[in-house]
Structures are given as C-alpha cells and as structure tokens.
Amino acid sequence: MTAARCWPSMDMLRSEPMQLVQLIIPIESAHRAISYLGDLGLFQFKDLNAEKSPFQRTYATQIKRCGEMARKLRFLRDQMKRTGFLSSSWSPMGTNVNLDELEVKLGEYEAELLEMNTNTEKLQRSYNELLEYKLVLEKASQVFYSAEHNAIAQHREVEQALGEGSIDSPLLLEQEMSSEPSKQVKLGFVSGLVAREKSMTFERILFRSTRGNVYHRQVVVEEPVTDPVSGDKVEKNVFVVFYSGERAKNKILKICDAFGANRYPFPDDIGKQYQMITEVSGKLSELKTTIDIGQLHRATLLQSIGYEFEQWNLLVKKEKSIYHTLNMLSLDVTKKCLVGEGWCPTFATNQIQNVLNRATVDSNSQVGAIFQVLHTKDSPPTYFRTNKFTSAFQEIVDAYGVAKYQEANPGVYTIVTFPFLFAVMFGDWGHGICLFLATLYFILREKKLSNQKLGDIMEMAFGGRYVIMMMALFSIYTGLIYNEFFSVPFELFGRSAYDCRDSTCREASTLGLIKVRHTYPFGVDPKWHGTRSELPFLNSLKMKMSILLGVVQMNLGIILSYYNAKFFRNDLNVWYQFVPQMIFLNSLFGYLSLLIIVKWCTGSQADLYHVMIYMFLSPTDDLGENQLFMGQKFLQIALLLAALVAVPWMLFPKPFLLKKQHEERHRGQAYALLDSTEDDSFELEEHKGSRGHEEFEFSEVFVHQVIHTIEFVLGAVSNTASYLRLWALSLAHSELSSVFYEKVLLLAWGFNNIFILIIGIVVFICATVGVLLLMETLSAFLHALRLHWVEFQSKFYEGDGYKFSPFSFVSIGDDEE
C-alpha cells in the first residue's frame, strides 16, 4: 500500500516495496535462468507444487543424481581424511566442469578407490599370514628339536642302561635320529599360532577333549603379531600339538578353528625348513613392495582429487539447489515452458529482466522469458537492505519478530538507543576503553576472520562487533559523565563545586561541604566519591534519570505508532489510539517528569512520592509545602480528569467504528464483483482465502480492544518502573568496580611489598575482566535488550511478518551436510 508522503523516504525505516511476479521461462533456458537468478540473489520463489510428493516432481531424477554425486563426494572426502589429506581451499578460477562429466568422473574415482581399497586389504592379509607362517617356521623348529632331543636322550639312557656302549654310538647319532620316526609310532602334528590370552584355555580344552593323549608345546613370541583377520596387533604363542589317530586330529582341528588359531604346515625335514623360510622371506619382501606401490598410487590419486574437491562440492550443491528450485515451478500445459511465481523487491525489476535476457541469449533459445507483475492481497515478505554495520542491529530486532510488511522498523532507533541504554548501565570510561580496544581487534582483522571458522561464542562476538563498538563508545561517554575510571573520579572538566564551609574544615564529616562555585560543568562532581552521602545522592539522581529516559523512549514508541497509522491511512488508530495513549501516558508520567525537572531547577524540598500518591488519593487537598509552582493543584486535577477520560476513549469507540466500517465495505462489495472479470487472465487461483473478505466478529474485536487497553494502562505503570533497572545495574556496576579497586588494588598497594603488589594487580585484572567486562557486559546487554523488546516495541510494533529469503548461492557454501 502506498501512502502520499510529504517527507522523503528513509532507508531501513520501512521494508522495501515488494511485488509478486510471475515468470514464464522456456524449458531450454530454465536451468540457466535459475542459475543466474541464484547468483543475483533477489528473488524468492513460491512453491507451486506444494501438494506433490518429492517423487512426483518434475526433476526428481536430477535431484537423485545430485544426491548420488554428493554421496560419492562424501566418500572421497572420507578417504582423503583417512590418509590425512586436507582439501585445499577453493579457488574460484578453475576449469568449468560440466555436471555430466563430473558424474562420470566421480563414478570412475569411486570405483577405482574401492578397488584399490579391497586389493590393499587382500594383500595386507596375505602379508600378515606369511609373517605368521614365518614365525611358525622359526619357533616350531625349537619345539621339534627339544622334543626329539628328549626322546633321543631317553632312548640312549635306556640303551646305556642295557649296557651296550659302543664307540660308534656318537656317529650313529644322526642315523638314529633320521631313523627315529620310522621306529616310533606315527605321530601327526598341528602347528600354528594362538592368542596368548586364550592359550591356557586352549591347552586345557585340548587336554580334556583328547583325554590327555596329546603332547602340546607352546613357544612365546616376543613382539605382538598383526592378526590377518582383524588387523590388530595381538600377542601370540606358537604352538605345536602332537596327536595320534584320525579322531584326535579332527577334534584338534575343530578346537583350533573355535579359538581362531591359525594353522600352518610345518615340514619335518631341516633342509625343507630352510627352503621354506627363504621362500617365505622372498614372498614377504615382494608383497611389501606391491603394497607400498599401491599406497603411493592411492595417495597421488587422492591428492589430485583434493585440488579440485571444493570446486566439485560447490558445483554439486549448486546444481542440487537449482533443481530444488526448478521443482517449485509448475509445468505449463504445452510442456514447453515453466511457470514460476515469487516475490522480489521493486528496485530489482530491471536487474531480474536483464538476467532473464542474458539466460535466453546464452542458451540460444528462440523465445524470451516473460516477467509479469501480479496483484495480490497476500502479505509480502519484509526486506531491509542492510550493510555490515546495520545488519547486526536488524538481527537483534528480528530475533523478537520480523516486521510486518512496511511497518516502521524499530531497528533504526535501536542503532543508537540500544548502545546508549547499555552504556547508562555500564558507565565507566576505563572499562569502555578496554571494550573498545577488544572490538577494534575484531574490526581491523575483519576480512581474515570472516573466512575462518570460529567457535560458537567467538562467532557471536565477531558478528556483533559493530554493536559492541557502539556500546563501548557510548560507555566512554557515560563513564565521563558518571566520572568513573575503574571507579576513580577525575577532575577533568574544571574545578569541583564543593569545598569546606570554613578554612578549618572541622565540619566536613558532620555537616559536610557546601557548594561554593558554579556547578561542575560536565558530569558528576568528583568530590562525591567516597563520601558518606554519595549513595543517597547518586541513587536519587539515577532513579530520576531512569524515569526521564524511560518516559522519553515510551513517547517515541507511541509517536512511531502515529507514523504507522498515518502510513497505512488508518485514521481510527490516530484518533482513538494514538491521542488517548499520549494523553494518558503524559498526564501521569510526563507530569512526573515535569515535576522532577522543576524540583531540580528550583531546589525545592517537595516530596514527589507524596505529591504523586495524593494526586490520586485526595486531589482536592491543599499541597502545602509540596507545592512547586502556582496553580499546581488545578493542573493536577485537570490531568487526572484527562487520564480518566482517556481510558474509555481508548476502549469503546474503536470496536463500534470498526463494525460500521466493515458494514460499509460489505455493502459496497456486492456491486464490485462485476468489475473484477477484466483482470488479467493469467492470474492463478493460488490466492486462497485472500480474496474472501474477513469475517467480522464484534465480540472478538471488543475483547481484543479490552485486552489492548488494559495492557496499555497497566503497562504504563509497570513499564515506567521497569526502567528503574537502568539505576539498579548502574549501581551494581559502580559498586563492584569500587570494591575491586579499593579492596584489591589499594590493599595490595598498602603492604609496600612488590610481590603482594604483583599478585594484587593480577587478581584485579582477572576480576575486572571476568566479572566486569564479561559478566556485566552480558548482563547490561540483556537488560537493554529487554527494555527495547518489551517496553519500547510494545507501544507500536506488531512484528508478525516473515523475512524475505531469496534463492541465493551465497549461503550454500556454508552448509555442511
């Protein structure tokens, strides 16, 4: 809705004018057009296919393709991470890769990597098995020799016992050994490796199951061995089990399998043993080289992928979002073009048309795209053009509620009043300077920090850097006014106004000083700090200041509601809401502010609590010594009557007048329907519910008005009192600050010891940073925010709009799926 404005428009005060636009794009240029619109980032598409499921939509297959490619990219990234490669940061210049080519490439890479991985696994497994075999060959031979030795020794003992000691006996030793097996009972044996922790159980079960008819030896392997199956390093023992008989053999084999003990054949012959060992060693070195070459190949492949990975990633995400958007457009009956609807700001009309033309040209299409503005009663999204400075403040306002389309944006005033109210509660120019230096660091390294990924808290602090800077600047100002530098006052702006009554200063601690010179020109007089009457004076000052600031801000809120009413041509709101609200607020609290100022100017001793309370309780009584000016009694009676009249003025007329308005409109509408057939034939019937006139329930409107009135009347008192938090927090801050200064720093100074002084300084700095700079900042931030959201915005803000979220590629790069 436009209104005749007799003043120029202001940036950011009201949402940019938005329009509902219909785009008709031929199919061949559709993809390109959407891509360019995404680059522009100023068009919000409406979903015209909302009833369809994801599988019924036109481009479902394309999205599946993109999803597949994204999966492959995730797989590649996983592989790169496993080998410890980090993909290099995305460079915008690079060969423009086509989506189809990319799909093929990704498929190839994935297949290749999978194959390489399985091969490597297989090779690694055989490598480990061969290692184990080698160990068996080495260790088992010990068992055999020691066993044979024992057997031979026993045999010789028996022979010697029989008495035949021949000189030839030693020479026959070998012969005996070689002929031993044939003379003995045929023993079979099983050799292999078993995990050390299972070895005892293994032995026991073997013993039990074969009824003790096996001979079992184990040799410890010192270093842990890589298990071929699991790939972990396990401590193992080499075992040899001698058995006789087929059944025992089967049992032993089954037990080995159950315990996961790997079996390896062991040749009897020494010569064969040596041969096997050399063979195995040869194979091992061969395998090692093969595995190493394989790893090298994989690493080079991953590295080459890593160079282009980010670019591919971005491309796939972009394509997916383009297809999502294309799915929102509806296919025309002729199947030759796509129809889309969406919101865009009016100032972007030319840009969008240029973009569409460029897409037509680039895709060699015969037909151009059509751009048509539709008229609708739907409420458009709200769009404020913000820069890096104002966006943080706008976000603060949006966190409460996004502004209704074209209502006044409190963000404009928030840019100044929010840091100002923060500073009223924070007021210390030393702390302000610290805060300013901290935020200056963020601002100076803006470009670098905005590309990095910061932690959550740092991210918030960085995002709000301009807010904090304003807060710091205002804090320096209010600190100078409160005259507090880490709670120490300075005489910067001239001489203090107070001095002793006489030259002896005897009564300085009983009756106090007197004002001998002009008022201290800027801020609180430095003589107040540390005196006994400091708190009564400062409390009185800060409480009155809070009321004055609060009344001014609330009046600003009501005046903004006047401008809203004027903009939306809502005369009802002007006469039956704005005027009674102003009268009510100002006749009570505006009058209180006036009394405060008059009392200060005249130096009267009147008790303002008494005056205000008795204004209500007994307005016709004589004021006596509480009189501040002539005619005060009559003025008070008049203001009281005005406030009493304002309440029913806010409450009653509006619902009746709304009803009358609605009836007039309703009566007139029956005649208007015939004219509407001349509208554009292109208008779709998507505007369900916006054409039909709203139902008018009188009781609902009346109750709404009652609630609104009660809220305002009670709110006037409670909101004014709420502003006293400005006093409370400012008192807390100055008290904390002075405690840290006096009880830490001055105490440490008093000891005249360098170490205690250093400790004192460290404690002071930690306490100042932790409690005052961090906690108090957050606390004052929160309270200033509350004052804005509740006390200020409730006077005029509706905040039930929705934000303009255009289709744009800018935000895509940041998501991590």
Considering the complex, state which of residue 127 and residue 528 has its C-beta at the smaller distance from other proteins. 528
Q: How far is the CB of 520 from other proteins (least distance, A)?
A: 7
Q: Give the span between the Cα atoms of 272 and 263, in whole angstroms.
A: 18
Q: What is the DSSP string of 680-747?
A: -TT--TT-TTTSSPPP--HHHHHHHHHHHHHHHHHHHHHHHHHTTHHHHHHHHHHHHHHHHIIIIIIH
CB of 773 to other proteins, least distance (A): 22
State the minimum distance, in angstroms, from the CB of residue 513 to other proteins: 5
Which residue, 532 or 688, has its beta carbon nearer to other proteins?
532
In sequence order, what DSSP letters do the residues of 279-326 get, joined into one string?
Answer: HHHHHHHHHHHHHHHHHHHHHHHHHHHHHHHHHHHHHHHHHHHHHHHH
**Chain centre distance of CA 373:** 37
Q: Enter the tokens of residue 250.
A: 């089967």
Q: Which is nearer to other proteins, 79 or 478 (CB)?
A: 478
Q: Up-side HSE of residue 66: CA atoms within 13 Å toward CB?
A: 18
Shortest separation between residue 558's beta carbon and other proteins, angstroms: 16
The 8-class DSSP code of residue 640 comes to H
Beta carbon nearer to other proteins, 508 or 763: 508
Residues of this chain that bind other proteins (CB under 8 A): 8-13, 412-413, 415-417, 420, 424, 477-478, 481, 497-498, 508-515, 518-525, 527-528, 530-534, 536-537, 540-541, 544-545, 548-549, 552, 597, 600-603, 605
Distance of CA 243 to the CA centre of its chain: 69
> Cα(114)–Cα(298) distance, rounded to whole angstroms?
11
CB of 416 to other proteins, least distance (A): 4
Q: For residue 814, what is the DSSP state?
A: G
Q: How far is the CB of 511 from other proteins (least distance, A)?
A: 7
Is 530 or 648 the residue whose CB approaches other proteins more closely?
530
Q: Is the Cβ of residue 735 or residue 800 nearer to other proteins in the bound state?
A: 735
DSSP per residue over 167-208, as a string?
TTTTTHHHHHHHHHHHHS---EEEEEEEEHHHHHHHHHHHHH
In whole angstroms, what is the distance from residue 725 CA to residue 168 CA? 116
Least distance in Å: CB of 735 to other proteins? 16
Phi-psi region of 165 (alpha: psi -120 to 50; beta: other; left: phi over 0): beta
Nearer to other proteins, 521 or 648 (CB): 521
| 107 vs 521, beta carbon nearer other proteins | 521
Q: 143 phi and psi, to 5 degrees?
A: -60, -50
Q: Which is nearer to other proteins, 6 or 167 (CB)?
A: 6
Q: Which is nearer to other proteins, 416 or 774 (CB)?
A: 416
The minimum distance between CB 733 and other proteins, in angstroms, equals: 16
CA 104 vs CA 61, 107, 108, 109, 313: distances in Å: 16, 5, 6, 9, 15
Rounded least distance, CB 728 to other proteins, Å: 17
Shortest CB 531 distance to other proteins, Å: 4
Neighbours of 152 (CB within 10 A): 14
CA distance linking residue 416 with residue 549, whole number of Å: 14
**Residue in 252, 275, 132, 136 with CA at minimum distance from that of residue 188:** 252
Give the three-class secondary structure for 218: strand
Closer CB to other proteins, residue 26 or residue 464? 464
CB of residue 481 vs other proteins: minimum separation in angstroms?
6
